[in-house]
Chains A and B, each alone.
Chain A
Amino acid sequence: MNVPVENYLVLAALIFAIGCAGVLTRRNFIVILMSVELMLNAVNLTFVALSRQLVSMDGQMIVFFVMTVAAAEVAVGLAIFLAIYSQRRTVNADEISLLRW
């Protein structure tokens, strides 16, 4: 188990950048939500890697709170999405401009 901590951090940075690209370039609402989940996972990986490196439990505790917020975000986000879909018949985030002026 002698993989240096930089490998985990670079991997997490890579996944975060990929998720960021997904959020910025995709138009489908569900894919945007999944990319946000990817970014949250990358941050979780950073927390656990540094928790291991620093011999502290605090990083792992924060991961549980991040997971709680991610679950809440997906539940509410998909409920909003389904409500919009049943009214507007679209999955395209560019066509949803209810709050734009």
Chain B
Amino acid sequence: MYAALFYFIAGLTVIGALGVALSTNVVYSAMSLLAALVGASGLYVFLAADFVAVVQILVYVGGILILTLFAILLTHQIAEIQVSNRSVGRLPALGLVVLLGLAMGAAILRAPWHVEPLAAATPTTYGIGDSFLNQYLLPFELASVVLLTALVGAIVLSRKELRE
């Protein structure tokens, strides 16, 4: 039962990812990205990472995907432009990607994983909060500085005066 559900969610995620990379319409790509992100969130639930799953929905679907859709709708050329020499760059790129995937798959399947019985799924918020305010306090503060810088940078870049 769990395995069937896992394969269903995994299939949803992979189909969504394929839709992002292969769809010729950008709006369809964004909708496929929604499927991939929700699927990844479901996999986090499978991995007993409840807080990460909720944050995935909030940040990626609620923030990043909406921002991307805004950018798509603000630019009028929604359909992908056909580029005349696309097959020249496309075949070597696909060969490279297949090679990369095979190398990663071989490495994963050959590695002697240290298998032990999994711990029971417990709420993770206590451990995450504890780590943020003890072990990871400096990266946590730096992350807020990064976000503030990105905020200011995005505002400066999209100001009217800079465009003219």
B123 at the interface (CB under 8 A from A): no
Q: Which residues of A contact B52 (CB under 8 A)?
A: 44, 48, 60, 63-64
Query: Known contacts being A83-B163, A91-B77, is A25 close to B17, with CB within 8 Å?
Result: no
Query: Known contacts being A57-B131, A78-B68, is A34 close to B80, with CB within 8 Å?
Result: no
Q: Which residues of A contact B150 (CB under 8 A)?
A: 71-73, 75-76
Q: A1-25 interface mask toward B, CB cutoff 8 Å, 1 = contact, 0 = none?
A: 1111111111101111111111011
A-B contacts, 25 listed (Cβ < 8 Å): A3-B3, A8-B43, A17-B101, A17-B104, A18-B97, A22-B20, A30-B68, A30-B71, A31-B20, A33-B68, A44-B52, A44-B56, A52-B49, A58-B131, A60-B51, A67-B59, A68-B147, A72-B147, A73-B150, A75-B67, A76-B150, A76-B153, A82-B75, A87-B163, A92-B83
- A14–B101 CB distance below 8 A: yes
Q: Which residues of B contact A13 (CB under 8 A)?
A: 101, 104-105, 108
- B75–A85 CB distance below 8 A: yes
Interface residue from B21, B43, B77 paired with A35 (Cβ < 8 Å): B21
Q: Number of contact residues on B: which range applies?
A: 35 or more
Majority DSSP secondary structure for residues of B touching A: helix
Query: Known contacts being A38-B33, A78-B68, is A15 close to B127, with CB within 8 Å?
Result: no
Q: Which residues of B contact A38 (CB under 8 A)?
A: 17, 20-21, 33, 36
- B93–A6 CB distance below 8 A: no
Interface residue from A1, A72, A79, A86 paired with B48 (Cβ < 8 Å): A1
- A48–B44 CB distance below 8 A: yes
Query: Known contacts being A14-B101, A26-B21, A30-B26, is A76 close to B154, with CB within 8 Å?
Result: yes
Nearest-CB residue, chain B, relative to A74: B64
Within 8 A of A (CB), among B73-123: 74-75, 77, 80-81, 83, 86, 89-90, 93-94, 96-98, 100-101, 104-105, 108-109, 113-115, 118-119, 121
Shortest distance in angstroms between A57's beta carbon and chain B's nearest beta carbon?
Answer: 5
